[in-house]
Amino acid sequence: MQKPERRRAKRLRVNLPLAYQHLGQDKDFGETVAKDISTAGMRINAGTFLAPGTDLVVKLRFPEVSKIIEGIAQVVWSQRISFSDQYQAGLRFTEINPVFSKWLEEYVLINEALSH
């Protein structure tokens, strides 16, 4: 039996560069790739375990349109990728500029329509 979908926002599969930094810490940062995005959050790959509840400052780059979206996201879940030393994590935006949010909503809708 399939699990019911709990997400409220449509997700778009992507491979977008992402820089992140633990909120309030100068040294704890990294770069990775967002694997899917929505107006509510994203799924990322990471080289280290990111504990649920951790707040991150994120900068998501959209190279094809020379755009960077910044915000604060909280780690909702994190798990090791099978047969790998990599992790996946689900992030939920907790603070994002309304202009960025609107742009992201349009980006997801346009690109989802193009993928069908």
pLDDT tens by residue, 45-67: 999 899 999 999 999 999 999 99
Q: Rounded to whole angstroms, what are the CA distances from 40 to 10, 21, 27, 101?
A: 9, 19, 27, 9
Predicted TM-score (pTM) of the model is: 0.86
Domain boundaries, the chain: 12-115
pLDDT tens by residue, 67-105: 999 999 999 999 999 999 999 999 999 999 999 999 999
CA 7 to chain centre: 14
Question: Domain 12-115 adopts which CATH fold?
Answer: Thrombin, subunit H (2.40.10)
